[in-house]
Structure 1
Amino acid sequence: MLSQLTVQHFAIVKFLELDFRQGMTTITGETGAGKSIAIDALGLCLGDRADISMIRQGTDKAEVSARFNLSDTPNALIWLQNNDLENSLSDNPNECLLRRTITREGRSRAYINSTPVPLSQLKSLGQLLVNIHGQHAHQSLLRNDIQLSIIDEYADHQQLLQKVKDTYQGCHFLKKQLKQQQLSQQEKQARKQLLEYQIVELNEFALAENEFSEIESEHKRLANSGALIENTQMSLNLLSDSEEVDALSLLQKSISLIESQVQHDEKLSVIVDSLQEAVIQIEEAGYELRQYAEKLELDPEEFEQLEYRLSQAMTLSRKHQVQPEMLYSFHQKLSKEYQQLNNSEAEIEQLTIELENAQKNYAKHAKKLSQSRQRYAKELSKKITESIQKLNMEDGQFHVLITQNESNNLSPLGIDNIEFQVAANAGQGLQNLGKVASGGELSRISLAIQVIISQRVSTPTLIFDEVDVGISGATAAVVGNLLRKLGESTQIFCVTHLPQVAGNGHQQMIVNKKSDGKTTNTNMQLLDSTERIQELARLLGGDVITEHTLANAKDLLIA
């Protein structure tokens, strides 16, 4: 529950510190006194949008803090634990302090238990602590999305809705992917046809890796085979095969001459060894050269084939605008791209299957949600009918009509269309709420719904900001009794201008506005029993309070 609210330099409030109790607290005051300012300040503390116009004139910063006792709010305590925001500074671990500041520069800061937090976290926690029903709630009641949210809130469809939203997101993602694939499919098809032509041509040529370098090298060898044979033979003759004089015979002759002189000088033996090694080298070189020469042959047919393949490679190189030595890797690249395009077609087929399965999954969860809505709609229709009949619509009937959307457009909220219908008088058929309900009837229906919904949700604090607009007389007394009964189990704040409602509060606060001609300040204070009677009398009779109005006020005040 909300235990304390501190407001500083907010709107026309200079400073305000309010302590609150359990039960129903009614808030009254003159028109324009600022009865809703405290609620606006609390809304800011719960994560509402900040605006520099909220800062009191002549000051640089507005600050609002709200203290809560979470003894009866286990969900909020769990949330704080999960987000590491427990209150470690207070002796009471069940206490939680929310704070919000706004500066003239437009900066807004939020704090939970003195820890700076993003606004999203403040909103998330705030939804567990306070539920505010505004004075224009009856107008939004005509919107279909609001009507649907009322059913879902009453039925506690959070998990079912999340399932539908999750499966919707899955369908939406797959549909988007499939559309992107299909949009580019024409371009891919044209590219695939070109690749098919290019790959067939390259497949026929079938150039192997590094083959071009080998072809080029072998072609060069065969092109020069005549000169190779001639020069190889001449070299062999010079080395060892000449019938007259060659290097080998000259070396051998030189060795014989020097060996004959070794006996005269032992130093010549080293030279003999060197010359003998040279003989061995020449003999080995001659052997290898002879082997090479024997393999050399002029093969015009092989040369012609190599020349043709080299010419083809050069032609394909120019055609595809790549270096001839890159033809193999280019061929592999085109083949890989072609395979990817084939995979793209398979991917479209797979995405289509996945989308169909996702849509079936969505339909399953949406149908389950729809069935639950139908069940709770009957229950809620009955409760609202009973409630509005107590609110001076004796013959009123309320009905929630739910039909299934037959279009193929998926929605994260499911497959249901909703319409709130009402028959305000006996003998009238049910019609759309917006067509037949007057302003006062709409207010009563809205209030009945809010009270019923409030009894279903676990939010510990409920705020009703002039939700009794358009209600008066005996109906107002019923509304007061209704809210007081709700206040026995839930903390309620009710801003009202009706004495019949104000008198039902467990406690009552008054809002006063004062001005010295230069500045204006709004104040709010708790009334004792005598002051409450005076305030109720003012609400009954205006500025002139008589003994009669005081007597009526005493009758309205419920101890």
Structure 2
Amino acid sequence: MLTSLSIRDIVLIEKLTLSFSAGLTVLTGETGAGKSILLDSLGLATGARADRALVRQGQEKGMVSAAFSVAASHPACLLLEDQGLDGGDGEIILRRQITADGRSKAWANDQPIGQGLLSDVGALLVEVHGQHDDRGLLDSAGHRALLDNFGDYGAEMKAVAGAHSELRDASKALMDAEEMLANAKADEEFLEHAVAELDTLGLEEGEEEALAERRTLMMQGEKLADDLKTYQDDLASDGGVDATVRGVLRRMERTEGAAGELLAPVIEALDRAAIELGEGMAALDRLAQDLDFDPHELERTEERLFEIRRLARKHNCQPDELPALLENLKTRYAAVSAGDEMVAEARARVAAARKAMTAAVETLSAKRKAAALELDALVMAELPPLKLENAQFRTAVETLPESDWTAQGADRVSFEVKTNAGTPFGALVKIASGGELARFILALKVVLARGSSTPVMVFDEVDKGIGGATASAVGERLRRLSDSAQVLVVTHSPQVAARGNRQFQISKGDHGAETRTDVVALEDEARREEIARMLAGNVITDAARAAADQLLHIDG
């Protein structure tokens, strides 16, 4: 609830601090006394547009602070915490400063915030209803949420939200599968040919490099073969180097005595040389045999090397990347075959999700229509005492086409009225006059109070143009509404004022060269006198005081 409101240099108020309590608080005073200044100040603190005309004449700036006490889990506290600010643990102080040149600053619990966030927090704390109010119950965009809060069918709403999420995901998966299949089918002929071509090639890793080296070797082979033949002939001339060395070794080995011992190192060295010489000649023979190429082999090597490089150019890759490319193309080609099955599965998922969504929204719509009938009956029961006995109220629940379904269901909800027989139903704001509109709103608020989380409700002259029993009915409903929320009402009706738990009198007077608005909390006799004034006018009579006593239920 609103616990205090502090105002400094706003319009005709120099400095004022008011304390509020739970229940129904009434603000009374003569026309023009400045009752609207309090509402404007509260609006400024809770995010209304900052008008520099609100700054008291001659001052550089004006300031308003509004303190609220709510549960720590209240949406306003949670919103501040979501923004990384101190939620106040149930205590929220909103402060707004406006300068004479129109600039404004805002704070929540002494933390600077933007005007947008201030407005969002303020909307969670205060609802203002007046003859020219175009928010809250007059905005059809919020009627569905109001009906849902009244109906209290959270499980059905959760089911619709879940079904909508599944349908959205299934539809996205189907779209992706169809797109992939379309792309795959467009490339199907290419993929089939490319896979077959690369499969036939049967390229092995590193093959292109090996073929290139062997081709180079074969092309150089003829000259190298002639050179090798010359080397072999030279090594084999005169019996061959190997035979000569081994002959000398045999003779050295037959040397005896001291001479044989001297030759031992030479024999050992020549023996090693003979072994290596033999290995070298054997290697020369093998090389000569390897260079004995088949001319057809060179042709085959060149053809395969050309084909490998052609396919690499065709697919814009390196020859060694062709095996990996083949695997990728095989995967894409397989997707063509599997694509129809994937699309069929995705379509089945969408069909199942749509069926579940349809069932969920039908259940929710049925709940909404039942709640709408209950709401209509309760609101209609409130209208006759409010002098709206010829009026009718209905909650229109319109089922939207499937293309317009959302996570909130398939319904558009709007509150409609008609004030005279034979006239069509229409939106509240278009059909009801100013006074009627305020009373319609009051009737609705009384019925909807059980689903509202807004702790403070403000009614500006909801009783304008009525009196007697109707005004008494308005007061009784405001008092009943204050059982579930703190209610502030600006009133000219003594019947409404007498229902208040607390009353403030607003007056305007001259203080030297200045005119100021003053606010006084009325107790007992002072309150009796104010209600008597509201009954009698400027001259308060004993009859007026007796009537005030009766309204206040005071004996004597």
Distance 2:323 2:485 in 1: 80
Q: Does 1:21 align with 2:17?
A: no
Decide whether aligned partners of structure 1 residues 67 and 445 sit closer, same or farther in structure 2, where only a CA change above 3 A counts: closer
Secondary structure class of the residue paired with 1:26: strand
**Partner AA of 2:445 in structure 1:** Q
Deviation larger for 468-477 or 117-126: 117-126
Indicate the residue corresponding to 1:2 in structure 2.
2
Distance 2:262 2:516 in 1: 127
Q: Does 1:219 align with 2:220?
A: no
Distance 1:133 1:476 in 2: 17
Give the drift of 1:493.
1.6
Indicate the residue corresponding to 2:539 in structure 1.
545
Decide whether aligned partners of structure 1 residues 341 and 557 sit closer, same or farther in structure 2, where only a CA change above 3 A counts: farther
> Would you say the 8 A contact 2:365–2:410 is kept in 1?
yes
Distance 2:347 2:190 in 1: 26
Distance 2:152 2:524 in 1: 40
Give the drift of 1:152.
1.5
Deviation larger for 27-36 or 51-60: 51-60
Report 1:466-545 matches (<5 A). Answer: 466-469=461-464, 471-488=466-483, 490-512=485-507, 522-537=517-532, 539-540=534-535, 544-545=538-539
Secondary structure class of the residue paired with 1:374: helix
Distance 1:343 1:117 in 2: 56
Indicate the residue corresponding to 2:141 in structure 1.
145
> Would you say the 8 A contact 1:23–1:487 is kept in 2?
yes
Deviation larger for 336-345 or 404-413: 336-345
Give the drift of 1:25.
0.5
Deviation larger for 102-111 or 11-20: 102-111
Give the drift of 1:209.
2.6
Deviation larger for 217-226 or 408-417: 217-226
Secondary structure class of the residue paired with 1:408: helix
Q: Which residue of 242, 245, 252 maps to 1:248?
A: 242
Identity %, equivalent residues: 28
Distance 1:208 1:258 in 2: 56
Decide whether aligned partners of structure 1 residues 448 and 334 sit closer, same or farther in structure 2, where only a CA change above 3 A counts: same
Distance 1:192 1:16 in 2: 82
Distance 1:405 1:298 in 2: 84
Distance 1:309 1:352 in 2: 47
**Partner AA of 1:399 in structure 2:** R
Deviation larger for 242-251 or 181-190: 181-190
Secondary structure class of the residue paired with 1:161: helix
Secondary structure class of the residue paired with 2:403: coil
Distance 1:342 1:32 in 2: 83
Indicate the residue corresponding to 1:283 in structure 2.
278
**Partner AA of 1:64 in structure 2:** S
Give the drift of 1:308.
1.9
Give the drift of 1:549.
5.5
Indicate the residue corresponding to 2:411 in structure 1.
416
Q: Does 1:369 align with 2:364?
A: yes
Indicate the residue corresponding to 2:386 in structure 1.
391
Secondary structure class of the residue paired with 2:35: coil
Q: Does 1:316 align with 2:311?
A: yes
Q: Does 1:447 align with 2:437?
A: no
Figure out how many residues of one structure are paired with residues of the other and give that number.
Answer: 546
Distance 2:134 2:382 in 1: 16
**Partner AA of 2:5 in structure 1:** L
Give the drift of 1:66.
0.7
Decide whether aligned partners of structure 1 residues 418 and 258 sit closer, same or farther in structure 2, where only a CA change above 3 A counts: same
Give the drift of 1:389.
1.6
**TM norm structure 2:** 0.78
Give the drift of 1:517.
9.9
Q: Deviations over 1:343-398 (max 9, x none)?
A: 77766555544433333333333222212212222221211111102212335443
Deviation larger for 384-393 or 296-305: 296-305
RMSD (CA atoms)? 4.7
Give the drift of 1:195.
4.2
Distance 1:194 1:337 in 2: 11
Residue segments in structure 2 that go unaligned for 5+ positions in a row: none
Q: Which residue of 206, 210, 220 maps to 1:210?
A: 206
**Partner AA of 2:144 in structure 1:** L
**Partner AA of 2:309 in structure 1:** M
**Partner AA of 1:214 in structure 2:** A
> Would you say the 8 A contact 1:168–1:411 is kept in 2?
yes
Give the drift of 1:178.
5.2
Decide whether aligned partners of structure 1 residues 50 and 249 sit closer, same or farther in structure 2, where only a CA change above 3 A counts: farther
Indicate the residue corresponding to 1:154 in structure 2.
150
Distance 2:319 2:141 in 1: 67
Give the drift of 1:147.
3.3
> Would you say the 8 A contact 1:55–1:62 is kept in 2?
no
